[in-house]
Amino acid sequence: MDRERLTITLKKSILSKVDALIDGTDLRNRSHAIETLISRSLTPTVNQAVILAGGSGVNMRPFTFEMPKGLFPVGGKPILEKVIELLREYEVRHLLFSIGHLGEKIQEYFGDGRKFGVKIDYIREKESAGTGGALILVKKYLNDDSFFVVHGDILIDINLSDMIAFHKNNDVLGTIAVTTVLDPSSYGEVVMNGTKITQFIEKPEKGMQKSQLISCGLYILEKGIFSYLPKKGPAQLEDIFTTLAKLRQLAAFPFSGRFTDIGTPKSYEKAIKEWGSVKEA
């Protein structure tokens, strides 16, 4: 990316606040901190998010016979409430819940979202539509070109403003939040070149992995992605990601915060241990 050297003069009081933000990792020095702050202030906001909460939670049975996975409590709050809190913190206030199995319980708990500081619309899957099919169903509710998509069974500590800025700077149809794990065989494996994803492999064969980077189930997408999805019927976003990677229309946003994908009783136990004792702001 091209850069031009500038000389600027700042009040000492402002400069001290800038210096206080430098941590040597996310913000390396004064120049990086100032550039990041300017970028954040100029970055368009993303106001809508699609929350994928329609899964049947097969791996969490028999518990999911009675309660949808998104309502499982962690630290005294349902998983989905923690997802809402993250989005609300970054002013993502219009949420589109894709619901299916026991979706009425999710709707009963969250209502129209007013109690949680957001607006919630519900789109019900009459039959299993897959992650891509769920997106097709909510298309008519999307008002802007850019929107978040979040799996409703993850806990993630991430700066969404930085992710938006990263996405816009890369000028792609999709950006995936990625992190590293020792064994990516249970996730969507990501192979990168620079900031772009060159390969997306859903649940790679154990021992055959090319990378330890995985998708965290949090994306920023552009409406242009719908040209790669069927007009109706079941579909998987993960298949579309494979195509977009080949076209270099998919970027990876690495982040250093915590991440837990709650897909099994073991991972739910991990979530309770790692997230349950965190004091709420």
pLDDT of residue 2: 65
- Four-CA torsion 101, 103, 105, 110, nearest 10 degrees: 150
pLDDT of residue 273: 86
Q: What pLDDT, in 10s, does the model give residues 159-199?
A: 999 999 899 989 999 999 998 777 666 667 788 788 899 88
48 and 36 in a common domain: no
Residue 5 sits at φ, ψ, to 5 deg, of: -75, 135
pLDDT of residue 208: 66
Tokens of 258: 């915590």
Domain that holds residue 67: 44-176+216-235+257-275
CA-based nearest residue to 18, from 26, 9, 27: 27
84 and 220 in a common domain: yes
The CATH number of the domain holding residue 118 is 3.90.550.10
Round to whole Å and give the CA distance between 110 and 50: 15
Residue 179 sits at φ, ψ, to 5 deg, of: -145, 175
3-state class of 189 per DSSP?
A: strand
Tokens of 52: 């994928």
**Phi-psi domain of 130 (left: phi exceeds 0; alpha: psi -120 through 50; beta: other):** left
- What is the tally of structural domains in the chain? 2
Tokens of 89: 């913190």
26 and 127 in a common domain: no
Round to whole Å and give the CA distance between 183 and 157: 20
Q: How many residues does the chain have?
A: 281
CA-based nearest residue to 94, from 57, 143, 21: 143
pLDDT of residue 207: 66
101 and 19 in a common domain: no
271 and 147 in a common domain: yes
Q: What pLDDT, in 10s, does the model give residues 114-155?
A: 999 999 999 987 777 788 888 999 999 999 899 999 999 999
In the chain, which stretches have pLDDT less than 70?
1-2, 26, 39-40, 42-44, 56-66, 183-187, 203-209, 277-281
pLDDT of residue 74: 87
91 and 164 in a common domain: yes
97 and 154 in a common domain: yes
- Amino acid at position 200, single letter: F
97 and 27 in a common domain: no
107 and 23 in a common domain: no
Tokens of 222: 């552009």
CA-based nearest residue to 187, from 216, 208, 165, 227: 216
List, in sequence order, every residue forming a beta bridge with 202; answer none if it has no partner: 188
Round to whole Å and give the CA distance between 136 and 50: 11
